[in-house]
């Protein structure tokens, strides 16, 4: 991934879109809102902090997209998460991005933040602030992309993974799960 | 396990709580398809990066190591050198490594495989499974992911190369994610199998990129 240089590349936790758009074309959105006024944060959280933060989103349905820039299928899927945010944000659904970038790789973290800006990912975005393998262990996932979907009571109802070659999830599966949970209310 | 049916195909939507209540229906501890002791899937005339083809029937060595790879994957690149070193270390022994690529993206297909294998110095055949049938039969979902079979072509080990997977960083350096490896799973499995001993640790988590099935 091409990183935005200058001010953006040095800001691991918070990127101003204004830094990015001066050097990078916006690829993933036709939204005409001025990016210069937009701030998208990539917030480091430990797993313990994440558990607390997750509870704060209740009573919303929470869709957690676990991704990284090194994961090609994750990058391909990401625009769908932006679409889901735009479609369901006002219906009690919170999309959350959880980056499993290596926190010790500053260039990769900056690249992830830059990617979020270019995608206009206007939903909460976190960086797992753990050793990268510990992140997988603590989240209890074997690989990414993986999507966890919590219901309105904060109960994990769906875990969508690519762990079974004969049953890998699709973009449509995410939305079907959301619709199913919304129908329960 | 909750499943949704869509266009006639069973689509995985795992209901987490239901899965926990029902217990795991998986084959291995981590691999969803194969378990230790399963037979090596047969494969026929898979094209290889260096030209020619390879079939399982062509392999006569006592130990077979199949490894799922992907040119584009930073975890594969991070561990290429150690894999090459390991494969080379068995020169003169009855061990056969075969690299396998399953992804359909252009940079994981044959022309790129040839370039990658030459650059990395793969001392073994690197085959493309366009049908993905072998990948599905192995339950291969990560790159790199290893499958070690004995002389009866029974699975004796599957999982990671060692206990500290390495990845190429954004600056091009290689980083072992948990420091220098201290447990060498594939090497130990091959050595034990060659010696006629049981493999002590037969399955580990394969950490890396996810294989995308069509």
Q: Give the lowest-confidence range in A125-129, B4-8, B46-50, B207-211.
A: B4-8
**pLDDT in the model for residue B27:** 66
Which residue out of B21, B167, B170, B177 would a mutagenesis test of the A interface target, given it has the greatest number of A Cβ atoms within 10 Å?
Answer: B170
Q: Based on C-alpha coordinates, what's the Rg of chain B?
A: 17
- Residue A82 CA to residue A29 CA, distance in Å, equals 9
Residue A69: how many other CB atoms lie within 10 Å: 23
Mapped onto helix, strand or coil, the DSSP state of residue A5 is: coil
Q: How far is CA B102 from the centre of its chain?
A: 10
Give the residue from chain A lying closest to B11, CA to CA: A167
B35 to chain A: which residues are within 8 Å by CB? none
Question: A178: closest CA among A115, A86, A100, A116?
Answer: A86
pLDDT in tens, B4-57: 222 223 333 433 333 333 333 346 789 999 999 999 999 999 999 999 999 999
Q: Read off the pTM.
A: 0.84
ipTM of the complex: 0.83
Q: Is there a contact between A62 and A150 (Cβ–Cβ < 8 Å)?
A: yes
Which residue out of B3, B4, B12 would a mutagenesis test of the A interface target, given it has the greatest number of A Cβ atoms within 10 Å?
Answer: B12
Range A81-87 average pLDDT: 97
Beta bridge partners of B128: B101
Which member of B11, B136, B170 has the closest CB to residue A111?
Answer: B170
Range A39-52 average pLDDT: 93
Residue A151 has pLDDT above 50, yes or no: yes
Give the residue from chain B lying closest to A109, CA to CA: B170
């Amino acid at each position: 991934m091409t990183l935005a240089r200058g001010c953006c590349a040095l800001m691991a936790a918070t990127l101003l879109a204004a830094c990015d758009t001066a050097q990078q074309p916006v690829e993933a959105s036709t939204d005409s809102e001025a990016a210069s006024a937009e701030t998208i944060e990539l917030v480091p959280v430990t797993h313990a902090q994440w558990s607390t933060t997750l509870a704060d989103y209740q009573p919303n349905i929470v869709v957690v997209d676990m991704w990284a820039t090194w994961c090609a299928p994750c990058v391909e899927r990401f625009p769908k998460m932006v679409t889901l945010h735009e479609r369901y944000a006002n219906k009690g659904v919170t999309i959350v991005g959880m980056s499993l970038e290596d926190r010790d790789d500053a260039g990769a973290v900056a690249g992830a933040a830059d990617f979020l800006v270019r995608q206009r990912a206007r939903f909460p975005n976190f960086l797992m602030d753990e050793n990268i393998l510990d992140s997988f262990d603590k989240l209890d996932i074997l690989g990414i992309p993986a999507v966890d979907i919590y219901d309105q009571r904060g109960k994990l109802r769906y875990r969508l993974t690519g762990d079974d070659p004969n049953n890998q999830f699709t973009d449509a599966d995410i939305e079907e799960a959301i619709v199913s949970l919304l129908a329960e209310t | 396990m909750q499943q949704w049916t869509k266009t006639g195909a069973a689509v995985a939507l795992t209901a987490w709580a239901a899965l926990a209540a029902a217990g795991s229906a998986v084959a291995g501890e981590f691999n969803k398809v194969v378990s230790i002791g399963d037979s090596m899937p047969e494969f026929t005339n898979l094209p290889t990066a260096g030209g020619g083809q390879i079939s399982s029937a062509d392999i006569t060595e006592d130990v077979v190591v199949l490894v799922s790879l992907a040119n584009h994957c930073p975890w594969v690149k991070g561990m290429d050198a150690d894999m090459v070193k390991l494969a080379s270390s068995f020169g003169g022994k009855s061990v056969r490594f075969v690299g396998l690529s399953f992804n359909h993206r252009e940079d994981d297909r044959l022309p790129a495989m040839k370039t990658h294998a030459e650059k990395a110095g793969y001392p073994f055949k690197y085959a493309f499974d366009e049908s993905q049938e072998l990948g599905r039969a192995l339950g291969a979902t990560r790159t790199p992911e290893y499958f070690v079979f004995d002389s009866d072509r029974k699975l004796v080990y599957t999982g990671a190369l060692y206990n500290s997977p390495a990845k190429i960083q954004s600056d091009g350096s290689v980083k072992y994610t948990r420091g220098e490896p201290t447990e060498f799973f594939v090497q130990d499995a091959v050595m034990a199998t060659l010696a006629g001993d049981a493999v002590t640790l037969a399955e580990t988590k394969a950490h890396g990129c996810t294989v995308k099935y069509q």
